[in-house]
A and B are shown apart, each in its own frame.
Chain A
Amino acid sequence: MQMRWLLVLGCLLITACSNPGDETSQTPSSTPPQVASKTESPEATPAPEEKKTEPPKEEAKPEPKQEEAKPEPKQEEAKPEPKQEEAKPEPKQEEPKPEVTDATPAEQIKTIIAEYSKAQGSLMTEARKMPGNEGRDFYFANLPKLQQKCGADLNAVVAANADDPANFDAIMWITMNMAGSDTGTKAMDTLFEKYIENEQMVKLCAVMAQGRMPVKNPVAKFEQLIEKSPHDAVKASATMALAKTVKDETRAEELYESLIANYGDLRSQMTRGKTFKEAADNALFQLKYLSIGKIAPDIEGEDLDGVAFKLSDYRGKVVVLDFWGDW
């Protein structure tokens, strides 16, 4: 098992920096994107809600969660990931310089996030050398420190450059990576107070819709976005996220129907490039026919030897239906 979480984490890192709209990354047959950490703004990829990997044991860590929905590589297929160059500890001669810099706030924010990614990569490299679950424990014990440092650095830049538009990226990073902590909660409050009209709030909807970010009352957040955002993409994404979040099935159905009626042709990161109609139709099918408690739709097909059979042939038995692939 020990390889598995590392692979998942590896995927997280990769996802964090891969194109969020890249649907092919959802399928296991696609080529994994290359080395993760040095690219620009990490964006979380929305994930199929049904995908759940084991959460870290001790505490909920928002950051890995938001991306953990990648198809997991099979254990059997475990392969080492490409090593990250940055992971090698380089002898540093220079002491960290004081913050006097010519870099714009946007550049500073980018650098801080890139440094975090690099440190996270190193931490993972180190963790992977450890036997059994030690590496996993080590990783999750140390990750919050990196997040806290990054969050503090970002907040310092934000504080020093009030109202700089780039602050949004910093606050968004903190919100998504440090949810559940005081720092994260404060950042989320700031987002909703100052940036609720920002079009990039789509990103937050996509991540929150997975339901694994420890946020109090996500329903209220989505409702606020629907009400206050001037952007259709945000309104539609928040509606979709709300539909996925509400417990009431009838309400969810209404929300999906309203998406189809109002934003049917629109595409966004939330729907991974599909139209909202396609995404909502899919969600409605799942809700109506594939929810817990529903009779499973029958499958008629052929087995690997070409012999026709049906799922309903197995009525009367407990069935584990496993969508699998050997890759």
Chain B
Amino acid sequence: MYPHERSLVQKLADKPFAIIGVNSDRDLEKIRETTKQKNISWRSFWNGPQGTGGPISTRWGVTGWPTIYIIDAEGKIRYKNARGPKMDEALTELLAEMGHEVDLTKHEDPGEAPKDDAKPNP
């Protein structure tokens, strides 16, 4: 997921688009660190210390991870669990409805954040 999502964030940076996560890790400190390391730049709700049993995922009836909803500009649920190329198609369609033409056929992963000790060769 991450490479695809990172790529979407980059490609759609100037479009009315956002990835919103609901993170179900129990350990908040650890997941904060992970988001830095893995360059997860999009915003996430935290599902709380109960992890997958937390309030948001429970209310949304989520029993499998990842679960994905794609929501349009009006706030309407339009797709469930469309991933990979299907997600691209869905986003292309929904952005087109708003008059934005995008091409998501190719993805280049901007990659994870460089580690501190990764110095370029002299």
Contacts and interface: CB of A to CB of B under 8 A. Distances in A.
Asked if A and B bind, the verdict is: yes
Interface of A: 26-29, 47-48, 50-52, 54, 69-72, 74-76, 282-283, 285-286, 290-297, 299, 301-305, 309, 311-312, 314-327
A302 B20 contact: no
Nearest to B79: A292
Interface residues of B, number: 61
Q: Is the interface of A mostly helix, strand, loop or mixed?
A: loop
Given A292-B79, A321-B20, A324-B22, A285 B61 contact: yes
Contact of A26 (B18, B63, B69, B80): B63
B106 interface: no
B10 interface: no
B80 to A, nearest CB: 5
A297 B64 CA distance: 19
Contacts, number: 187
B16 A311 contact: no
A282 B58 CA distance: 9
16 contacts: A26-B63, A27-B63, A76-B38, A282-B61, A293-B78, A297-B60, A303-B43, A309-B43, A317-B18, A317-B73, A318-B71, A320-B5, A320-B71, A322-B20, A323-B24, A327-B25
Mostly, the B contact residues are mixed
A320 B24 contact: no
B77 interface: yes
Nearest to B54: A301
Nearest to B112: A76
B68 A320 contact: yes
A323 B73 contact: no
Contacts of A290: 60-61, 69, 77
B91 A316 contact: no
